[in-house]
Each structure stands twice: as C-alpha cells, then as structure tokens.
Amino acid sequence: MTSGATQAVSSADIVMSEPRHHSCIKHNSHSFTQQSGATYSIGGGHSCDLFHFKLKDVNSRSSVFRCIRNEQIGPWKWKPRSIISDYVAHQMPNLMQETVIPLGALNKVFSSHWVDSRNVVCATKCNQLFVVDTKTCRKTFIPILKCSSINEDPDSPCGIHTIAVNRSRTFLATGAEHTNAVAVYRLPTFDPVYVGECGHNDWIFDIVWLDDEFFISGARDSKLALWRVKDDVPQAVTSLACLGKYPIVRPLSVKKCQKAEKVRALSYNNHTQELVVLSLSAYLHIFDAQTMKQKFSRKLPFCLENVCLTNHEDYELYAVGSKSHVTFLDSRTLKPVNYIVSPYRGCGIRSISFQGNILTVGTGTGSILFYDIRQRKFLECHCGQMSSLMVGPGYLHRDEVYQELFAGEVYRNAIYTHCYDASGTKLFAAGGPLPAGLSGNYAGIWQ
C-alpha cells in the first residue's frame, strides 16, 4: 500500500458491526441456594452488551489484514494465535497419523481428558479410571473411590461415563464406585478429595464445571445435582470412608429437569451463564446457572439417540449429535439454524467437539469427520474426497455372547470420546464396539 493510500485510510472513519458475537463478557456473581438455605456465590465482575463500535484514526502500523480480521470477529478478539489455530484445525486432518494404544481387555472407553501435554485420563464401561502416557502407551490405574454402605448401586451398573476438569486444572470430577455417585480428585496427583452421594439414584451421564469450585452432575433419573469443592473440609459431610482418607458429602442442591426423560449431556455457556441440558426425550433445556431455575425447553428436530452436546460461545451455537444428524442451534433462541447428515446414517453420532471453526465428529462406525461451520461443508482432501480418519480394529472380546449372537459379523469401534490437546495438534480418540452386548475397546493418538 502506498503512503497516499495509507493516509486516505487513516483519515477515514471505519464503521463495523458484528452481530454474531458477544462482546467480552464478565458476568455478575452466581448464587446458589443450598438445601439448608445457605447461599454461595461464584465469579464476579461486570457485563457488556452487544455493541456497534467505531474505529477511528487507523495509523500507519495497521494493516489490511488486521482490518479484514476485525470485520470477521471484532477487534476485541483479534488474536494472531487464534488465526494460527484455525489454520491448523483445517490442515491437521490430512496430516494426522494414528498410533494405536493397546488397552488389554478393558471394556469401552466412555470418556477422556488431557491432563497435560503428554497424558490422558480415561474412564471405561467396566468402571476403571486410568491415565495413559501417549508417548510410551503405559497405563497407570487410579483407585476408584468407594461409596458408603448407605448408598445403593443402581440396577445394571454401566461404568463411568464422564470426566470433567475445572478451569484451573486443580480438580477432576468423575464417577465413583457406584454409578450414581461422584468422585473428586486433586490434580495432578489424583489424591482423593471426596465422594458425593445422595444426589442421584441412577447412572450419572455427565458432569460440567461452572468455575473452579462448583460443578453440576446430570443423570438418568432426570435430576441435576450441584456440588462444591474447596481446599478445606467440604460442606455437608455425612460420613468418612476408607479409614478416613476422604469424606462422603451431599450435594448443595438437587433439581428435577422438567420434560426430561433421562439427562444425557450437559454444557455450560459462560457468556450467558446458562446451563444447557440434553435429554433422551429429544429436548434441550436451559437453566439459569445463578439460580438453577429452568428457563425453557425446546424440542429437537431429530428424535432418536440424542447423546452428545457441545457449544461454541463465539459463534453462539450449540451442536447436538443424534442417530444420523448433527443439529446446530442458535444459543440465544434454541432455534435450529442448520443440520448435517452423517455419511454413515443409522450408526449414530457418538461424540462432538469444536476446535476453532471446525466441528470434529466421532461416529459409531469408527470414523472421525471434520465439518467447517463457516463454509458449511465437510473438510476435503486434496483429491476432493471427504477428509476422515478411520480408526484401527482395537480389541474385541470373543466370548459366548459374541459367538452366539455376533459371530461372523464385522463391527467397527464407535468413537465414544475424543479430545484435543492444548496445542490442537494431537487428537486422542477412544471407544469400543457399538452393540451393547459386545465387549472390547479402542484407543489411539492421532498427530
């Protein structure tokens, strides 16, 4: 650009607006009412509304690239690192190579989470919790926290479905010995903090943190339970387990989710301070996270097997995975704005996550797909074909059930869980055979 052109731009008033994004938002304090009546608060600060902004006197150091980027996402969010992340998210699927991680005879990995740049913690259907080193493939099992004698395990227990880590990465919440109880560990040592009981009477399907102290669990009994973790002795201690090594606590509050037939997945929208609840009755429910009051519910367009949920706060989108579709909904109104059809219809969308403007989709057929929400299409290879990762065969336990009901059939591993490391260049994926009667596992690192 010539100096004259630069001067022309500098003297102009450039007006831009971006209705698709919230401004930098820091909300008022959360407050929750304990069953005993006590009030707790989390967070704090101020809130800013959506706004139109005016950028005046662009100096000679500004570039056309900066202006174009500002038009896309607003100057208050301009970060060179995010641009690199978007580029990496587009290019990585075509460059990734699989390293299979053998898991022995473990049955179906349901959840996973990176604990650092090298290690991933996993939870299984056979109620095991372990950390796997992605470089050496070595597994370290974490002791499952035992429940008290007054807590009854639900019928047909089905393992640990969820792992959640707080923002400061100091605590990890997951399932305990019984599938209706929560267990909290301290990171990075995995020292036990407490076991939470009396919040649910059926399987816990998901857990989400609201901040560093408070988290919510959702279960098949259609209830939500609010829990708190502090460095000192937790509240509502009912008994001590395992020779006093950790306490047994009760939840601060328990809420019934109306119109919900089994709570299946949770997500927290930090911009709006709303809790998003997905139920197997094909409804999406919105709760005010400050009061835990249910605001409204919305029927989803596809009714079968709505099992996974994620949100993209910058784009104000929720994404829901069902049997053959991924539905995108406006987070302000819960109205569907788009949907995609799985190329492998009928086998289910088992896990979804946003990485920049790319939605990663784990299917029930052992494939991982990548969808660009800006261009509204799946990523493609250089040859023009859809870009996808097909996972290896993993391990299949050929027991009597397999011999009688499934012998001779080929079953790919469902991707029940996947997660990116902090750099976005390594993808951990895991799961197992989709039929409930089959036992087996798969785990792999793609990089």
Q: Which two tokens stand for residue 133?
A: 């080193």
Residues 6 or more apart whose CB falls under 8 angstroms from that of 262 comprise 205, 220, 221, 222, 279, 280, 281
By percentage, how much of the chain surpasses pLDDT 70? 76
Please give the average per-residue pLDDT across 4-24, as a whole number. 36
What is the per-residue pLDDT for 58? 37
277 pLDDT exceeds 60?
yes
Please give the average per-residue pLDDT across 235-248, as a whole number. 60
What is the per-residue pLDDT for 372? 92
71 or 107, which is more confident? 107
Q: Report DSSP state, residue 261.
A: S
What is the per-residue pLDDT for 349? 93
- Residue 392: strand, helix, or coil: coil
Whole-angstrom Cα distance, residue 127 to residue 145? 11
Could you tell me how far CA 70 lies from the centroid of its own chain? 28
Q: How does residue 86 score in pLDDT terms, banded at 50, 70 and 90? A: low
Please give the average per-residue pLDDT across 143-159, as a whole number. 87
Please give the average per-residue pLDDT across 286-297, as a whole number. 92
Please give the average per-residue pLDDT across 207-235, as a whole number. 88
Tokens 């923002």 correspond to 167
Q: Residue 362: what are its φ and ψ, rounded to 5°?
A: -95, 125
Which tens digit of pLDDT belongs to each residue from 310-321?
A: 999 889 999 999
329 or 435, which is more confident? 329
Please give the average per-residue pLDDT across 40-57, as a whole number. 38
201 pLDDT exceeds 50?
yes
Q: Which of 19-33, 107-121, 306-320 has the lowest mean pLDDT?
A: 19-33
- Residue 356: strand, helix, or coil: coil
Say what the pTM is.
0.78
Whole-angstrom Cα distance, residue 352 to residue 326? 9
What is the per-residue pLDDT for 406? 81
Which tens digit of pLDDT belongs to each residue from 339-357?
A: 999 888 777 899 999 988 8
Q: Which of 55-69, 341-355, 363-377, 406-420 has the lowest mean pLDDT?
A: 55-69
Contacts 24+ apart (CB under 8 A), 352-356: 352/308, 352/309, 352/310, 352/319, 352/321, 352/326, 353/310, 353/418, 353/419, 353/420, 354/310, 354/311, 354/312, 354/319, 355/85, 355/89, 355/420, 355/424, 356/82, 356/85, 356/86, 356/88, 356/89, 356/424
Q: How far apart are the two ends of the chain, measured CA to CA in Å? A: 40
Please give the average per-residue pLDDT across 38-59, as a whole number. 38
Q: Which of 82-96, 110-124, 358-372, 415-429 has the lowest mean pLDDT?
A: 82-96
For residue 441, the one-letter residue type is N
Q: How does residue 44 score in pLDDT terms, banded at 50, 70 and 90? A: very low
238 pLDDT exceeds 60?
no
Please give the average per-residue pLDDT across 60-76, as a whole number. 49
Q: Which two tokens stand for residue 415?
A: 């991707």
Taking all residues of the chain, what is their mean pLDDT, rounded to a whole number? 81
Domain boundaries, the chain: 3-78, 88-446
Which CATH topology does 88-446 take? Answer: Methylamine Dehydrogenase; Chain H (2.130.10)
Q: Which two tokens stand for residue 60?
A: 């000679």
Q: Which of 26-35, 44-53, 353-362 has the lowest mean pLDDT?
A: 44-53
Q: How does residue 49 score in pLDDT terms, banded at 50, 70 and 90? A: very low
Alpha-carbon radius of gyration of the chain: 23
